[in-house]
């Protein structure tokens, strides 16, 4: 356990001590360290009324109390004790008694940790010298929330107090600032501000509706991926969104995807399902006729929606939805073609994410050998596939790490993790190696000897899903979409009525050259029209007045490069075309 984690864990005890000073009826339950600090869950039901439990207004007092206690926490020491002694000590706290019973039943040691005058039942993992290790300004209390005891909604509701904790005040402040920024950059807000997508109560949550601007953005993203794929020999295919049950019985999805599958019964009583994945359908296109080794690999790409029956409590924005649009692909190839195909995809991933300035590292998502019921296929098939991925990542020389338990049901994955402009890491693209579906669907090619040879499938989505990538990218860019991706690239703003005719002329020239431009010839003041354009984070704003009309030039305000004066219209268009083409 690293020292920051130990400090965070210690601070949860300190919080409990401070709470008990002011709320002696409180029953502490559990209080772990978390990613950004710590929390502790309390039962305050022992007293009633206004001051029986702290709200967010009381957090500053509690925080002060923690800081006052801290100097007295010179050491934090653990001692083992008997179950009997522990039960005695916590006899008025049914939550701790439940924990003691569990530890006792497993035959594990029961330990008590004491610092200052506060003793708690705990497994350990604390700072041994809290007063020395923890800077008083490196932590703060954050918020209050409800939480069921043990996360079980049939059990009592407790009060959870969250704290933030880092090594230093500077780190704490940086985290808070980043979180503030992230709040402003919430993709749900940006989506509304830029008018990219909307939700309807009649259609339902988790089902985004993409407006003209949003649909254009999706289309441009997808066209970029397709441009890269086409260079590597991919071809598009098209499938329906439903299938007879038989397909998923063969693929294994009918059982393994049990809950998440949207099932449909036809009027004739036949069972169908909405597709949660595209691979089984794509196998049926591959299997339509025999393939010679000369025609391998076959590379199918399709951007299409898939559906998962998520619980409605889990839905929100673009990240938890009932339908996602996968920019999916399936390569059917021979074993000796796997590495080359992986590298081709890897090149596409590097180019695509590079265009947005994301840095990437790679997670090798392997299966969990302790939960074989979650996966299809034999241990041998898994070992082969995972070894192949290890060798590929090593040869590519990429920054990578292994994560058991993160595999897909049919094979291990190579997941790309992108770090955004706020330093947050997101799982994005994924490449999956699959030796199981080819078995289940008996997919082969005819090799040089005229024999049937089992093929391998490589699943890949470059964006993962357009919805998820859009959410990450909108927060990464704060809505300042790169020029090539901006639904409106240029806003033309004539200063007054006298300049409208020239504004139209400029607009038409831009449109004729494929530049996505709009004219703002409204009666609003110049200032208001400029503010409006900036609110929409448009890449370029053209202000046209007497000077521009006379000289047939434009004055451009670039969102990213400042003011550009005295450009001829041709120069401006050439600049836009170059920047769009280079995706800068």
Catalytic center residues: 279, 308, 326, 328, 330, 413, 459
Of the pair 64, 311, the CB lying nearest its own copies is at: 311
Q: Alpha helix locations (H) across 331-426?
A: 338-354, 379-396
| Chain Cα centroid distance, residue 135 | 32
129 phi/psi in degrees, rounded to 5: -130, 75
Q: In angstroms, give the least distance from the CB of 219 to its own copies.
A: 6
Q: In angstroms, give the least distance from the CB of 545 to its own copies.
A: 24
Q: In angstroms, give the least distance from the CB of 523 to its own copies.
A: 11
Only one residue has tokens 């199918």, namely 300
Return the structure tokens found at 32.
């772990």
Taking the C-alpha atoms of residue 21 and residue 7, their distance in angstroms, rounded to an integer, is: 21
Q: In angstroms, give the least distance from the CB of 71 to its own copies.
A: 52
Cβ neighbours of residue 571 closer than 8 Å, sequence gap 6 or more? none
Cβ neighbours of residue 16 closer than 8 Å, sequence gap 6 or more? 28, 31, 40, 42, 118, 120
Q: In angstroms, give the least distance from the CB of 508 to its own copies.
A: 14
Of the pair 207, 391, the CB lying nearest its own copies is at: 207
Q: In angstroms, give the least distance from the CB of 335 to its own copies.
A: 23
Only one residue has tokens 């594990």, namely 108
Of the pair 306, 383, the CB lying nearest its own copies is at: 306
| Pairing mode, strands 425-434 and 517-519 | unpaired
Contact criterion met (CB below 8 Å) for 15 and 31: yes
Of the pair 287, 446, the CB lying nearest its own copies is at: 287
Which positions lie near its own copies, rule CB under 8 A?
195, 198, 200-204, 207-212, 214-216, 218-219, 235-244, 246-247, 250, 259, 262-268, 270, 272, 274, 280-281, 284-285, 287-289, 300, 302, 305, 307, 309, 311-312, 322-323, 325
Q: Alpha helix locations (H) across 151-186?
A: 169-184
- Provide the 8-state DSSP code for 413: E
Of the pair 242, 495, the CB lying nearest its own copies is at: 242
Q: What distances in angstroms separate CA 58 from CA 21, 30, 50, 55, one per listed residue? A: 13, 20, 12, 5
Contact criterion met (CB below 8 Å) for 412 and 367: yes
Taking the C-alpha atoms of residue 468 and residue 320, their distance in angstroms, rounded to an integer, is: 8
Contact criterion met (CB below 8 Å) for 425 and 389: no
Contact criterion met (CB below 8 Å) for 365 and 406: yes
Of the pair 1, 209, the CB lying nearest its own copies is at: 209
Q: In angstroms, give the least distance from the CB of 247 to its own copies.
A: 4
Q: Nearest to residue 32, comparing CAs of 104, 99, 106, 108?
A: 99
Q: In angstroms, give the least distance from the CB of 84 to its own copies.
A: 46
Of the pair 13, 229, the CB lying nearest its own copies is at: 229
Return the structure tokens found at 164.
């933030």
The dihedral of CA 218, 221, 224, 228: what is its sign? Answer: negative
Q: Strand, coil or helix: what is 444?
A: strand
Of the pair 370, 448, the CB lying nearest its own copies is at: 448
Taking the C-alpha atoms of residue 333 and residue 339, their distance in angstroms, rounded to an integer, is: 10
Taking the C-alpha atoms of residue 483 and residue 491, their distance in angstroms, rounded to an integer, is: 12
Q: In angstroms, give the least distance from the CB of 267 to its own copies.
A: 5
Only one residue has tokens 């949003």, namely 214
Q: Strand, coil or helix: what is 148?
A: strand
Q: Nearest to residue 296, comparing CAs of 448, 497, 410?
A: 448
Q: Nearest to residue 43, comparing CAs of 97, 114, 93?
A: 93
Only one residue has tokens 């409990």, namely 16
Of the pair 39, 469, the CB lying nearest its own copies is at: 469
Q: Nearest to residue 210, comparing CAs of 226, 191, 184?
A: 191
Q: Nearest to residue 115, comparing CAs of 107, 124, 106?
A: 124
Of the pair 98, 439, the CB lying nearest its own copies is at: 439
Q: In angstroms, give the least distance from the CB of 495 to its own copies.
A: 20
């Amino acid at each position: 356990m690293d020292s920051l984690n130990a400090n965070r864990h210690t601070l949860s005890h300190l919080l409990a001590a401070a709470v008990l000073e002011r709320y002696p009826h409180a029953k502490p339950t559990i209080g772990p360290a978390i990613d950004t600090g710590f929390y502790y869950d309390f039962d305050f039901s022992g007293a009633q009324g206004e001051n029986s439990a702290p709200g967010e207004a009381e957090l500053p007092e509690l925080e002060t109390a923690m800081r006052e206690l801290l100097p007295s926490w010179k050491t934090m020491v653990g001692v083992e004790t008997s179950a009997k002694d522990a039960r005695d000590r916590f006899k008025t706290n049914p939550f701790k008694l439940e924990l003691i019973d569990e530890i006792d039943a497993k035959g594990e040691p029961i330990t008590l940790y004491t610092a200052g005058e506060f003793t708690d039942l705990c497994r350990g993992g604390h700072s041994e010298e809290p007063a020395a290790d923890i800077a008083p300004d490196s932590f703060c209390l954050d918020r209050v929330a409800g939480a069921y005891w043990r996360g079980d909604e049939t059990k009592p509701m407790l009060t959870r107090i969250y704290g933030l904790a880092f090594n230093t005040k500077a780190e704490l402040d940086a985290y808070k600032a980043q979180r503030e920024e992230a709040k402003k950059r919430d993709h749900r807000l940006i989506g509304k501000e830029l008018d990219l997508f909307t939700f309807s109560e009649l259609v339902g949550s988790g089902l985004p509706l993409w407006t003209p601007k949003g649909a254009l953005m999706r289309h441009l993203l997808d066209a970029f991926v397709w441009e890269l794929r086409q260079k590597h020999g991919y071809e598009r295919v098209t499938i329906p969104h439903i299938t007879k049950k038989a397909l998923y019985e063969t693929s294994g999805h009918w059982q393994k995807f049990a809950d998440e599958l949207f099932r449909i019964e036809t009027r004739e009583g036949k069972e169908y399902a909405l597709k949660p994945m595209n691979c089984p359908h794509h196998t049926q296109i591959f299997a339509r006729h025999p393939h010679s080794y000369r025609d391998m690999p076959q590379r199918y790409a399709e951007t299409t929606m898939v559906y998962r029956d998520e619980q409605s409590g889990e839905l929100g924005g673009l990240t938890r939805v009932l339908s996602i649009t996968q920019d999916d692909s399936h390569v059917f190839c021979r074993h000796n073609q796997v590495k080359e195909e992986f590298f081709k995809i890897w090149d596409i991933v590097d180019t695509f994410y590079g265009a947005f300035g994301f840095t990437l590292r790679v997670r090798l998502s392997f299966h969990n050998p302790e939960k074989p019921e979650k996966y299809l296929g034999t241990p041998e098939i898994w070992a082969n596939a995972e070894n192949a991925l290890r060798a590929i990542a090593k040869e590519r020389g990429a920054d990578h790490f292994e994560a058991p338990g993160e595999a897909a049901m049919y094979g291990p994955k190579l997941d790309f993790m992108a770090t955004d402009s706020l330093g947050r890491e997101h799982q994005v693209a994924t490449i999956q190696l699959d030796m199981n579906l080819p078995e289940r669907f008996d997919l082969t090619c005819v090799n040089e000897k005229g024999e049937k040879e089992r093929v391998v499938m490589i699943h890949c989505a470059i964006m993962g899903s357009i919805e998820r990538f859009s959410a990450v990218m909108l927060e990464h860019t704060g809505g300042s979409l790169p020029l090539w991706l901006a639904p409106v690239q240029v806003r033309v703003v004539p200063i007054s009525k006298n300049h409208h005719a020239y504004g139209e002329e400029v607009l038409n020239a831009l449109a004729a050259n494929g530049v996505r431009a709009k004219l703002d010839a409204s009666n609003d003041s110049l200032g208001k029209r400029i503010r409006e354009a900036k609110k929409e984070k448009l890449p370029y704003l053209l202000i046209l007045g007497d000077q521009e009309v006379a000289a047939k030039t434009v004055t451009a305000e670039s969102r990213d490069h400042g003011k550009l004066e005295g450009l001829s219209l041709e120069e401006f268009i050439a600049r836009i075309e170059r920047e769009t083409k280079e995706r800068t």
